Structure 1
Amino acid sequence: MNDNCGLVVIAGPTAVGKSKLSVELAIAFDGEIVSADSMQIYRGMDIGTAKITPEEKKGIPHWGIDIIDPDTPFSVSDYRDLADGWLRGIWQRGRLPFLVGGTGLYIRAVTEEYDFSTFSGDAAFREKMEQMARREGPEALHRQLAFVDPATASRLHPNDIRRVIRALEIYEFTGKRLSESKQSHGDTRFPVLKIGLTSENRELLYDRINRRVDLMIEQGLLEEVSGLLRRGAHKDLISMQGIGYKEIIEYLEQRLTLQEAVERIKQGSRRYAKRQLSWFRRDPEIHWFAIDTIPWDQLYNACFKLVKEFRQQVSNTVVIKEDGGTAK
């Protein structure tokens, strides 16, 4: 990777306004956007993942969205390899890349020197663990992980079955703990500016999340999930374990009422936002802005100034629009 090129990261919890800010900054700085969202990689999963619409993109190229089918295996290292190619292309075009999303591990893998385990895995072991999860619940797997690798278990939610199984798999076949064998060295791979969006008023953020879920239902989330199932997706796929999909499947299987499913989606989304904030708060390099304590115009202008100063420090190849002003 070219260490003379810069990258702007815009991170934060779900429903906080990352997409809007990144598009406006990309317009001002002749940029392109790389998504750092582990669910928006899937084709056909649009409503439940709150993908940005063509109108919202405002002509800005977006990478990392709709790149694989829901039944395709995909790892963090796969994402890092693809993201490296996207970034290289953006830099070669003389443009400024923005890495935008709420999947902290994706952002860390791209921006920091990261040591990925070379162990490819064992399908039979994964199937055995998946059957155990279905039979005894995800908590059983999580307790098993806590016994052999407490450090990894402490940062993984019990419902994050795929990563829990991966950690167990690495320990089972290599004798190494994931917390020891797969970790960031903390050294950045190239100059990075990190901007974080949050909300000081947690209830305001939760209200935004709840309203987003209601909008998903209005936009046709039930029909989207039904269509995926008709085309061969099934509930045991990692993709279909995402928040919003597994609950609607339970509704379609008549194990939940629609009201119960919607409330579980809202609850799961709120809990996910808390975990995202906890992850990002550990990064001292993030410049934080609370969306409920600063007007949009001021927030945009403050971020514009940060990006302008950063870009001038690392490269003169991109022409910055001096009249960027307040985004409309």
Structure 2
Amino acid sequence: MSNQERPRLLVLVGPTAVGKTGYSLEIAKHWNAEIISGDSMQVYRGMDIGTAKLPIEEQQGIPHHLIDICEPDHPFSVAEFQERCATLIDEITARGRVPFIVGGTGLYVESVCYNYQFSETGSDEAYRNEMEAYAEAQGNEALHERLRQVDPVSAERLHPNDRRRVIRALEVHHVTGQTLAEQQAGQQKISPYELCIVGLTRPREELYNRVEQRIDEMLALGLVEEVERLVRAGVPRRAISMQGLGYKEIIPYLEGEMPLDTAVTLLKRDTRHFAKRQLSWFRHMKDIQWVDVGGEENFYENLQSIHAIIAGKFQNDLEYNSNQSCNGGNGK
């Protein structure tokens, strides 16, 4: 299939707090794009502060998709994300606009870029129940260590508290004898799209400072109260949604298991570690062109570098409104 026959797909990735939001708005305006959230947690209603959702009034009239599409007790999956994205890409393309995935959930984004095939075969309910019981008795860290022994690559990418995915990775190895990482590496990384992926990065110290600043802002906006509302509404502590950063750390405080300052310290640590895992994932992806966006004063110059990458990839035949103002914020 030639490039002219393949739908275009623009993608912006990078670790949490690197500044994707600010850049994505300017990019979308210039390239006549509609944004598809590539964040696995922004799909949940009522989880706004901890997932850093951009309020509608700050979206500058740009359509945003896959935000607030399900309740917090729904086990949203990568396969569901992939299916919804495929439909959205076709719809956005039919409107004469550019589908634009923005986010940091590596497997979700990569599954769409390269049309991963997900098989439901290879399940063992008794084994899953055994691993659940093991985690209840020994703790999530012990379960995660079991995964590290058989599949260190997946263990590096999965947080110990992401119990569902840790158990799934163990189950894949138990049933098939092949690790989840090996299965993912074996996917045919051939895109059905004319693909342009831009990755944002910053110097590590600067990124970590932004992470801590963002968490302080979330707390000031009412993160604790948001988590408390979800708990009162009956969202189970083990729900996939409640394993998200900012939720799994605050719940122990609300349950009286630790003081707030300890919970916040853990949240900042976990978020730094998450950013590191995101960078590790993206650096193993093919086709990414990286832009170092360090230094808040360089927003305009960085934006021009991104535009040049997109123009080069799409061969200048997209609508590029070069006369529009490129002045923008520093992003989120």
Aligned residues: 324
CA-CA distance at 1:119 after TM superposition: 2.3
Pairing of 1:140-219 with structure 2 (within 5 A) = 140-183=142-185, 184-200=187-203, 202-219=204-221
Give me the TM-score of the superposition, normalised by structure 1. Answer: 0.91
CA-CA distance at 1:3 after TM superposition: 4.8
- Supply the distance in 2 between the matched residues of 1:88 and 1:213 (Cα, whole angstroms): 36
- Supply the distance in 2 between the matched residues of 1:207 and 1:54 (Cα, whole angstroms): 27
CA-CA distance at 1:42 after TM superposition: 1.1
CA-CA distance at 1:91 after TM superposition: 0.4
- Supply the distance in 2 between the matched residues of 1:109 and 1:3 (Cα, whole angstroms): 21
Pairing of 1:94-105 with structure 2 (within 5 A) = 94-105=96-107
Give the counterpart of 1:279 among 278, 281, 285.
281
Which deviates the most, 253-262 or 142-151? Answer: 142-151
Listed one character per residue, the Cα deviations across residues 247-271 of structure 1 (whole Å, up to 9, x for unaligned) are 1111111111111111111111111
Q: Check the 8 A contact 1:33/1:63 in 2, yes or no.
A: yes
Which deviates the most, 302-311 or 152-161? Answer: 152-161
In structure 2, relative to structure 1, the CA distance for the partners of 1:15 and 1:147 (3 Å cut) is closer
Secondary structure, aligned partner of 1:71: coil
**2:254 alignment counterpart:** 252
Query: Is residue 294 of structure 2 the alignment partner of residue 292 of structure 1?
Result: yes
Q: Check the 8 A contact 1:41/1:64 in 2, yes or no.
A: yes
Which deviates the most, 173-182 or 281-290? Answer: 173-182
CA-CA distance at 1:273 after TM superposition: 0.5
Give me the TM-score of the superposition, normalised by structure 2. Answer: 0.90
Instruction: Name the % identity.
Output: 45
- Supply the distance in 1 between the matched residues of 2:123 and 2:95 (Cα, whole angstroms): 37
CA-CA distance at 1:308 after TM superposition: 2.8
CA-CA distance at 1:280 after TM superposition: 1.2
Q: Check the 8 A contact 1:301/1:325 in 2, yes or no.
A: no
Q: Tell me, which stretches of 5 or more residues in structure 2 are unaligned?
A: none
Alignment RMSD, CA only?
2.2
**1:327 alignment counterpart:** 327
Secondary structure, aligned partner of 1:245: coil
**1:310 alignment counterpart:** 313
Q: Check the 8 A contact 1:36/1:101 in 2, yes or no.
A: yes
> Which amino acid counterpart does residue 327 of structure 2 have in structure 1?
A
In structure 2, relative to structure 1, the CA distance for the partners of 1:323 and 1:308 (3 Å cut) is farther
Q: Check the 8 A contact 1:117/1:181 in 2, yes or no.
A: no
**1:243 alignment counterpart:** 245
Query: Is residue 35 of structure 2 the alignment partner of residue 30 of structure 1?
Result: no
- Supply the distance in 2 between the matched residues of 1:194 and 1:145 (Cα, whole angstroms): 31
In structure 2, relative to structure 1, the CA distance for the partners of 1:228 and 1:154 (3 Å cut) is closer
Secondary structure, aligned partner of 1:246: coil
CA-CA distance at 1:72 after TM superposition: 0.9
Secondary structure, aligned partner of 2:115: strand
Q: Tell me, which stretches of 5 or more residues in structure 1 are unaligned?
A: none
Which deviates the most, 118-127 or 299-308? Answer: 118-127
CA-CA distance at 1:277 after TM superposition: 1.0
Listed one character per residue, the Cα deviations across residues 286-327 of structure 1 (whole Å, up to 9, x for unaligned) are 2212222570010111112222333346xx5x5332324523
In structure 2, relative to structure 1, the CA distance for the partners of 1:150 and 1:311 (3 Å cut) is closer
- Supply the distance in 1 between the matched residues of 2:283 and 2:267 (Cα, whole angstroms): 24
Q: Check the 8 A contact 1:115/1:181 in 2, yes or no.
A: no
Q: Check the 8 A contact 2:122/2:176 in 1, yes or no.
A: no
- Supply the distance in 2 between the matched residues of 1:326 and 1:278 (Cα, whole angstroms): 30
CA-CA distance at 1:155 after TM superposition: 4.0
> Which amino acid counterpart does residue 220 of structure 2 have in structure 1?
E
CA-CA distance at 1:181 after TM superposition: 3.7
**1:92 alignment counterpart:** 94
Q: Check the 8 A contact 2:113/2:191 in 1, yes or no.
A: yes
